[in-house]
Structure 1
Amino acid sequence: MAIITDNVVRDFTLKPANDKFSSEAMPLMQRVVHVAAIAAADAESVDREARFPKAAIDAAREYGLLGAQIPIEFGGESASIHDIAEMCYALGRACASTAMIVAMHQTKVACLVRHGRGSAWHEQLMRRIAAEQMLLASSTTEGNNGGNIRSSAAAIARTETGISLLRDATVISYGAEADGVMTIARRADDAGASDQVLVVFTKDDYTLTPTLGWETLGMRGTCSTGFELRASGRADQVFAEAYDRIHAQTMTPVAHLSWSSAWAGIAAAAVERAQAFVRKAARGAGGQMPPGAAHFTSAKRSLTKLRAMIATHLDAYTAHEFDERALTSLDFQSSINLLKVEASELAVETVMSAMRACGLSGYRNDGDFTLGRHLRDVLSAPLMINNDRILANIGTANLMSPVPASLRD
């Protein structure tokens, strides 16, 4: 199945302000194009001011993007993982912070859709997301765990009226702007660090006290501030399924596919600027290619490889989406984790090649061919759930996996 198309956001066109969303009148990807146009217009100031991309997220609400993945029976559109990947790619070409916010939100929604069925509370939340276009934040990093999602310090406490949680969340991306937060925690006070549950709270369930700022090189608009999260709610807000299953079947694959698509979008935008620069330079020199033209070829080649890699993993995930045994297999888990590692490194390589193609024009922060924001944003990719940690974990697991004996294995 074709994915990550070149013409999704070929021409950003702002919509009329009074043009209201209608899923029947306007296909999903056409709505994504409109949202991407708004995100692109705001991207420079979002980065410069390190502010939440409110205009783009408001547009995503208006056009129904935040609830698109919710099943039709609960008021959504049953958007597929392919749809979500295309959405993240298109938004990545426009504004990296907007794309990453949407990617993280859609990962939380995917967990809710797959693992919340049968729970009256979670099904009602799905209806609310579809109707109100609620934005869900993620809290998976805490204290000194260094981004190790499969180890929690904070625990769910059972009270007479329900549950409570106190969490030192060193990062909650766009937490202050979200309508709810999905977080992991130890099942109980006496549970081990890896005996985890997933729980979701809506905004009236919790308070956030800022503890760390967000003055960063790139992805500045994600506003990934640290907070003390103090929450309370009903016992049925905790997912019945153990987090280790949710992590393997949904959280990891959807996160890595949507993040990779967002990074590919950033890379595509950089390649497009490099292409425009090389064309202009060649016209000005009577058809003679500029010195950096070979770097443009490298950038285009690595972008092609990146897009193909994502497409292959999208197809692999959808082929086994409801096969729990396949999704939890060592081969699939290694592959989907390596996607994150390889896509993040390749996205950085692509943007760097594009900048070298543009030379000083790409290095400058002004002018039509500036690529500073793209490079700063994409440099977050290998550090977001650090690649070294992933490779160390995969290395140990792969010692038990046989080396394929043929090309068909």
Structure 2
Amino acid sequence: MTMQPTPQPDGRLGDAADLPTRAATAASIAAAHAEAVDRDGRFPEEAVAAFRSQRLLGAAVPIALGGEGASVRMLAEVAYVLGRACASSAMIFAMHQTKVACLIRHGRGEPWLDGLLRRIADEQLLMASSTTEGQGGGNVRSSSAAIESDGEGVTLERAATVISYGAQADGVVTVARRSAEAGASDQVLCVFLREDYSLERLSGWETLGMRGTCSSGFRLKARGLPQQVLAARYGDIHNQTMTPVSHLLWSSAWAGIAASAVDRAQAFTRTAMRGAGGVAPPGALHYARAVSSLKQARALITQALDTFEGADGDPAALAGLDVQTALTMLKVEVSELAVATVSSALRANGLAGYRQDGDFSVGRALRDILSAPIMIHNDRIVANLATATLMSPVAASLSA
């Protein structure tokens, strides 16, 4: 039976202070169904139902709008806990919270968007993300489809390469060209609710891992009010919120997946040593490497959270090259470290880790974590960053 969150003195259900307890409850439910979600390639409906019952989906919505005002650091902790339980559930949580963060930080104060945020907190709506389309792949700074206005409303039709959990979401946050006359990089962020759009499936989602995210391709046809297009510049949304928050939450989820593999490597190593009179098994060296790389990933995330919080509230600081580099490269570095961690755990466990059955298997974690470097390809990220830094002087000293 799913635990119900404790009513607060003001009548609200849930409070940011007890978020870890509620996250642990949701994680236990996600873990119980993770194997079936992976095996059947199905949406983790039990986990998402737990997100709703534990009031996790609206946790970041400001208190004034009915939410709990949870910080990005709190959300990162939740993503880590969920990653240890079910990779797909963790990534769904991370993607949803990234979109909610964009609406909060760049749409708050607009009546329609404030109303939507209230609904997300009250009804625990699940918001999907649609930022890639056509042949553009993971280039989120270029759009083909354009918003069109007829004076009374706006319409959008776009062929999305993937819309993660698009068929199961209550709404979608998507990017488009500002108008039919706008250039590919002149973009806006817009949000549509389930009643505003239709989806035509264009491709399936038969993948090695992250199978439960159900990231099929769809043709999205939407019509809404002009107020559903955010007035803020998409470049600002992307740099100040979408990139840093997504990289922080994705990285936390990946670190959680890696931690689950280290758990199994530790259990195997301990069991093997007990059976051998205290003699370490041949793979013990790889267990140590797994522990080390996981610690590095966790340290990078903590450092990046400090950087983000230190610059937050100051658009100029968030746009600074040093901050942007740190938050952009976080995704690259943690994704590689997470893959290394799980690979080391596999080698520590040997055949017991390679098997799909048994308490020491790390097969599912390995298949899931292999998505990390190619979910917006690391090579694309590094190439874009290299271009951005070409005109920046190289530091002349350690303190510069």
1:393 CA displacement: 0.7
- 1:295 is matched by which residue type in structure 2? H
User: Conserved in 1, the CA contact under 8 Å of 2:240 and 2:319?
Assistant: yes
1:267 corresponds to which residue? 258
Question: Does 1:308 pair with 2:307?
Answer: no
Question: Does 1:157 pair with 2:148?
Answer: yes
1:144 corresponds to which residue? 135
Cα distance in 2 between the residues matched to 1:17 and 1:36: 11
User: Conserved in 2, the CA contact under 8 Å of 1:211 and 1:226?
Assistant: yes
Residues 1:384 and 1:273: Cα distance change in structure 2 (over 3 Å): same
1:72 to 63, 68, 74: 63
Question: Does 1:332 pair with 2:320?
Answer: no
2:93 corresponds to which residue? 102
Cα distance in 1 between the residues matched to 2:205 and 2:310: 39
Cα distance in 1 between the residues matched to 2:16 and 2:236: 38
1:408 CA displacement: 2.9
Cα distance in 2 between the residues matched to 1:96 and 1:407: 39
Query: What pairs up with 1:144-293 in 2 under 5 angstroms?
Result: 144-293=135-284
1:128 corresponds to which residue? 119
Residues 1:292 and 1:46: Cα distance change in structure 2 (over 3 Å): same
Residues 1:194 and 1:33: Cα distance change in structure 2 (over 3 Å): same
Residues 1:402 and 1:254: Cα distance change in structure 2 (over 3 Å): same
1:13 corresponds to which residue? none
Q: Could you tell me which runs of 5 or more consecutive residues in structure 1 were left unpaired when the two chains were aligned.
A: 1-15
Cα distance in 2 between the residues matched to 1:159 and 1:83: 42
- 2:153 is matched by which residue type in structure 1? G
User: Conserved in 2, the CA contact under 8 Å of 1:21 and 1:64?
Assistant: no
1:378 CA displacement: 0.2
Deviations 1:56-87 (A, max 9, x none): 00000010000000000000000001101001
Cα distance in 2 between the residues matched to 1:350 and 1:147: 25
Residues 1:353 and 1:25: Cα distance change in structure 2 (over 3 Å): closer
2:391 to 374, 385, 400: 400
Cα distance in 2 between the residues matched to 1:60 and 1:208: 24
Provide the aligned C-alpha RMSD in A.
Answer: 1.1
- 2:156 is matched by which residue type in structure 1? L
1:58 corresponds to which residue? 49
What is the TM-score with the length of structure 2 in the denominator? 0.97
Secondary structure at the aligned position of 2:189 is classed as: strand
User: Conserved in 1, the CA contact under 8 Å of 2:16 and 2:59?
Assistant: no
Cα distance in 2 between the residues matched to 1:150 and 1:203: 25
2:10 corresponds to which residue? none
1:401 CA displacement: 2.0
1:347 CA displacement: 0.4
User: Conserved in 2, the CA contact under 8 Å of 1:21 and 1:62?
Assistant: no
Q: Across the two proteins, how many residue pairs are aligned to each other? A: 394
Q: Could you tell me which runs of 5 or more consecutive residues in structure 2 were left unpaired when the two chains were aligned.
A: 8-13
User: Conserved in 1, the CA contact under 8 Å of 2:164 and 2:213?
Assistant: yes
1:318 corresponds to which residue? 309
- 2:315 is matched by which residue type in structure 1? E
Deviations 1:143-183 (A, max 9, x none): 11021000000000001321000000110000000000000
1:9 corresponds to which residue? none
1:344 to 311, 335, 344: 335
1:407 CA displacement: 2.9
2:369 to 345, 361, 378: 378
- 1:202 is matched by which residue type in structure 2? L
Moved more, 56-65 or 19-28: 19-28
